[in-house]
Amino acid sequence: MKEVIISTEAVNSYGTRVLTSGIDLSQYERNPVLLWMHRRAWNGKDMPIGRMENLRVEDGKLIGTPVFDQADDFAKQIESKWENGFLRMASAGLEPQETSPDPALVLPGQTRETVTRCKLVEVSIVDIGSNDDALQLCGADAKLLKLAAGEDSPALPLLTLADTPDTPEEKPIENPNNKKEMNKEQLQLLGLPEGATDEQITAALNLMKTKADSADSLQLAAVTQTVDQAIADRKILAEQRDHFIKLGKSAGVAMLADTFKAMPQQMKPTDTIQLSKETAPTPGAGQAPAKTYKKLGDVPESERLQLRKEQPQEYMRLYKEEYGHDCLPLN
């Protein structure tokens, strides 16, 4: 079985480097999973293809021996390409725990802080290592972080000029044409002419922010007023106020108002008592006592239309008991 170098301390294609001495192997040694291209079994298909054995550190390199699952047809395909030299690279899935901008640790070409402490989570067989997302580090929130230059990767901050060795070949080269095009596009979005001063740009940005804040304030005021009116109209309960304000901020005032229009008015306990008194038979009148039902399905079909017309609140109550949700408002 052919061994493989899993990780070294060289600068990788993402502009960072990992100190081999800072890699914690303890957890991985208890679960030495081997994957294909860092794919996890989230979809129920990409299962591990084997395990990594004989894991060790030699001369600043992390080395191991992949062992492929012989009961898995796909794993056997990868093993065949591995043993015949068509696949030759592995890549470490690392969870960074500590990084450092120390210039003493920075090598030529490095653009991100050095990973001084991390945890080995998994090892993958890959077609091209440390290139086009072949090397990926797992963040503390278990999300994969793509460490390409310019992406927001808090786990691996970009180096500042003060952290980078002051050599001519490592200083970024500014393209004045790109800068000019970028500024021109920004000016057009701000409604400013080409050649506008920094003061004009700042003023335009402040004005844009003021308008956005004002619009948000007006929307919140309208949503709040609509919700408070719905409470006054007994469409919703007072304890639901915050929920519907949040709903209105995302859905809009018009959608919120339409929602309230479709909702029946809430009944007070006193209204229910009064309705019971009005519908109760007169004592001694010789009438049979009013029937009570638990759900709409218990009401005979011959009585449902009459119940809907004469006792709409009772009809809606039985409807909700039958189907688990309110029926549309009764006309």
Asked if 24 and 117 touch (Cβ cutoff 8 Å), the reply is: yes
Pairing of strands 4-7, 89-100: unpaired
Q: How far apart are CA 266 and CA 235, in angstroms?
A: 6
Asked if 256 and 235 touch (Cβ cutoff 8 Å), the reply is: no
DSSP string for 263-313: SPPPPPHHHHHHHHHHHSPPTTS-PPPPP--SSGGGS-HHHHHHHHHH-HH
Q: In the prediction, which pLDDT does 288 show?
A: 46
Name residue, tokens 């008991």. 321
Q: Which two tokens stand for residue 81?
A: 């390409």
Amino acid letter for position 14: Y
Q: What is the mean pLDDT of each run of 10 residues along the chain (331 residues)?
A: 87 86 93 89 78 92 93 93 90 90 90 91 84 38 41 62 55 45 68 77 80 80 90 88 88 85 72 57 51 83 84 87 76 60
The residue count of the chain comes to 331
Asked if 31 and 50 touch (Cβ cutoff 8 Å), the reply is: no
Q: How far apart are CA 109 and CA 104, in angstroms?
A: 14
Amino acid letter for position 234: R
Question: Please, how many CA atoms are within 13 Å of residue 158, restricted to the half-sphere of its CB?
Answer: 7
Task: Output the pTM of the full model.
Answer: 0.44
Q: In the prediction, which pLDDT does 135 show?
A: 37
Q: Cα torsion at 117, 119, 120, 121 (round to 10°)? A: -150
**In whole angstroms, how far apart are CA 250 and each of 190, 229, 244, 256, 259?**
26, 19, 10, 10, 14
Count Cβ atoms below 10 Å from residue 137 Cβ, excluding itself.
22
Q: Which of 54, 52, 58 is nearest to 35 (CA)?
A: 52
CA 15, 17, 22 angle in degrees (round to 5)? 155
DSSP string for 77-94: HHHHHHHTTS--EEEEEE
Q: How far apart are CA 155 and CA 116, in angstroms?
A: 12
Q: How far apart are CA 235 and CA 259, in angstroms?
A: 10
Q: In the prediction, which pLDDT does 145 show?
A: 42
Q: In the prediction, which pLDDT does 267 show?
A: 63
